Amino acid sequence: QKEVEQDPGPLSVPEGAIVSLNCTYSNSAFQYFMWYRQYSRKGPELLMYTYSSGNKEDGRFTAQVDKSSKYISLFIRDSQPSDSATYLCAMKEGSNYKLTFGKGTLLTVNP
Amino acid sequence: EPEVTQTPSHQVTQMGQEVILRCVPISNHLYFYWYRQILGQKVEFLVSFYNNEISEKSEIFDDQFSVERPDGSNFTLKIRSTKLEDSAMYFCASRSGSSNEKLFFGSGTQLSVL
């Protein structure tokens, strides 16, 4: 079983739609969960950082972690064309930064 | 916002040649990393570096790879004898060292081994 699984998409939505992106994982030692956004020919950029289970909201973005199900989600409200990018989930066990990434989901928001 | 800078953006080399990928981390950062992404695959951890030594490395980071901080600003990844399978986008990243804070990635160097 792969450590982190993420549907690669592609996902295409109209502007204003609510987008739901998800990852599942198998390693129960993961405690820190992140979502990165990656534009074409750029490095990953951190969007959301959460510790353990629960929700975190930042503007139009909400991250959810359900450790009992080993499932994390990123919701984007009122999606904009500028949100078009690849979204990567990433996880780590402790205070180090040896991140384990999902494969990324390519999102296109159409005007 | 401060940036991690990587040069060159694209490097082409022949199999068996040595390459050095260069990174300038953010100036007050103390922890440095290399990750790579083979086309169509996941971003993978290679190595972490702190206080002038490797703190952790992955199975990918074998004897062909080395890292160095030759001066106060640069952080380099050397591949001694490149193989075709080393073709990938290599990302440098850095962070300041406070707990649970942001890891800043550079834009990457696309390495093509022919």
* Chain A residues touching residue B95 (CB < 8 angstroms): 97
Q: Hey, which residues 60-89 in chain B have their CB within 8 Å of chain A? A: none
User: Does the pLDDT value for residue A22 go beyond 90?
Assistant: yes
pLDDT of residue B34: 98
Q: Work out the number of other CB atoms within 10 angstroms of the CB of residue B22.
A: 17
Q: What pLDDT sits at residue A1?
A: 55
What count of Cα atoms within 13 Å lies in the side-chain half-sphere of residue B41?
Answer: 14
Interchain CB contact of A56 with B (< 8 Å)? no
Min Cα separation B18/chain A (Å) = 24
Q: Using one digit for the tens of pLDDT, what is the confidence trace for B22-65?
A: 999 999 899 999 999 999 899 999 999 999 999 999 999 999 99
Express each pLDDT in B77-113 by its tens digit. Answer: 999 999 999 999 999 999 987 765 789 999 999 999 9
Q: Who has greater pLDDT, A7 or A67?
A: A67
Q: Mark yes or no for CB contact A103/B42 under 8 Å.
A: yes
Q: Is the pLDDT of residue A35 over 60?
A: yes
Residue pair B18/B81 in contact by the 8 Å Cβ criterion: yes
Interface size between A and B, measured as CB pairs under 8 A: 52
The two three-digit tokens of residue B45, written as one number: 């951890």
User: Looking at residue B18, what is its pLDDT?
Assistant: 97
> Is B105:B89 a contact under the CB 8 Å cutoff?
no
* Residue B71 pLDDT: 86
Check residue A9 and give its pLDDT: 85
Task: Output the pLDDT for position A2.
Answer: 66
A96 vs A78, higher pLDDT: A78
Residues within 8 A of B (CB atoms), A 30-49 only:
32, 41-46, 49
Distance CA B106, CA A49 (A): 19
